[in-house]
Amino acid sequence: MTSHEALIFVSAWFAVFLILGQSVAIVLMGAGIAGMFAMMGTRLFDGLLAADIVGAASSYSLSIISLYLLMAQFLLRGRVVEDLFRVGYRLAGKRRFPLGAATIVSGGMLGAVSGSGAATSAALAVMAGPQLQQVGYTKRFAVSLAAVSGSLAAIIPPSLIMIFYGSLTLVPVGHLFIGSMIPGLLCILCYIGCLWVFGETKPGAAPAESEADAELPTSAVAAFIFVVVLMFVIFGGIYGGVFTAGEAGGLGAFTALVGMAALRRIGLRDIFDSLVDSVKVTSMLMIIVIGAQAFGRFLSLSRAPRELLAAVEPLLAQPTVLVALMLLAFFIGGLLLESAAVMVLLIPIILPVLEAAQVDLLWFGVMACFMISLGLLTPPVGLATYAACAAVRHPVGPIFRTTGLFALVAAVVVSLIMVEFPGVVTWLPSQIQ
């Protein structure tokens, strides 16, 4: 079978099995192996694929994932999610707009803790949703705001998809984390502006007496301070050149364990469950990576990246148009697939094009993560939106209308700023010692 015939066959394979509901990792691996077998026959098994799988699974950059996941598990089992929102809610009082803004900021902090947009959206929908309704927001808008806030996990460090991007492009993960800080702040400010303009309130609603008037537990304040200091030490250490992103992950996991134990938030059973859950999530992500490696090897044998480079060669003189098209691909991928799968699927294909166009890979990585974060909010597979709706059993259709509006405004405002002023991404990393 020729390379073109194999590409058509694999594309059909990929589309059919994805529509049938197979997991992305299995579809990627199956499509890659089937395509290579169609082109090479039994020579496929002469050690070609095994080397790729072993190389992908033993990547140092990907080993960082398990450390940040373990840190997140310790903090989540220490119930700091509730504490972060309690403190933010207390600071906002019973005022409507400050409480909405506090929800968005809490979403950014929770994203830094959990690394999962879907998990953060679900948690905020349960915790913040009733409080937002209590001060006058409609239920639809409260759930929408929870989804929007949770989507920040894709752009707020330590974002897991940034680790994937760094491992695939060899861009230092620490530089990606630091480079995403200003864009993450811009996203938060943009969403707060949307809250001010598009906030939906109940007719005649007035802020009601709420738990914000109750005394805040000392343990909640202590947990809040601990998380803020932990994030400051981790990212301050990376920025100051004290340690690498991998070392920061190890320090964060150990400090989270000691801190939660000292605050008597976790016991031996919680530690065991955290380890188990971290291994499960890491294994799931690694299976996606291995599947994508098999698919990437097929693409390499089929010369698809080279043909793509030849096809877009006229656009190399117009890198802005080229980058816009590639970012559109990330956005569309975020609509349809899980974030990590989008990253490991697209980067091997477009990396030669990026290098030929001399695009700054650090800047593009942050932009790509931002586009994926928008995909978490928009149909048909906006995972953050679905997670928030599932947590409170709310129909997803009306929520998409609001989250899509937030995503559209952020896409225009934040994207234009990062395109016109790339220094908002590259300046901080350039200062790392």
The tens digit of pLDDT for each residue in 28-65 reads 888 888 888 777 776 666 665 666 666 666 677 677 88
Same domain, yes or no: 95 and 216:
yes
Query: Which pLDDT score, from 0 to 100, does residue 211 have?
Result: 46
User: Whole-prediction pTM value?
Assistant: 0.80
- The answer to whether residues 345 and 295 touch, using CB atoms and an 8 Å cutoff, is yes
Asked, for residue 53, whether it belongs to a domain, the answer is no
pLDDT at 212: 44
Domain shared by 225 and 268, yes or no: yes
Residue 92 confidence (pLDDT): 67
Number of domains comprising the chain: 2
If asked whether residues 196 and 318 sit together in one domain, one would say yes
8: number of Cβ within 10 Å: 12
Backbone angles phi and psi of 391, in degrees to 5? -65, -30
Amino acid 50 reads A
Count the alpha carbons within 13 Å of 404 in the hemisphere toward its beta carbon: 12
In a domain, residue 54? The reply is no
Report if residue 326 sits inside a domain.
Answer: yes
Residue 205 in any domain: the answer is: yes
Is 193 a domain residue?
yes
Domain of 37, in residue numbers: 1-46
Give yes or no for a contact between 388 and 120, defined as CB atoms under 8 angstroms apart: no
Same domain, 194 and 261: yes
Q: What is the pLDDT of residue 191?
A: 92
> Are residues 33 and 71 both part of a single domain?
no
Residues 330 and 189 in one domain: yes
Whole-number Å distance between alpha carbons of 228 and 225: 5
Cβ–Cβ under 8 Å, residues 10 and 298: yes
CB 154 within 8 Å of CB 410: no
Tens digit of pLDDT for each residue in 150-206? 888 778 887 778 888 888 888 888 889 889 989 989 999 999 999 988 887 776 655
Helix axes 96-114, 139-151, angle to 10 degrees: 40
Same domain, 12 and 134: no
Is there a single domain that holds both residue 12 and residue 114? no
- In this structure, is residue 65 part of a structural domain? yes
- Predicted confidence at residue 321, as pLDDT, reads 82
Structural domain contains residue 104 = yes
pLDDT value for 115: 58
pLDDT beneath 70: ranges in the chain = 1, 42-58, 61, 92-94, 111-117, 203-216, 304-305, 336, 381, 433
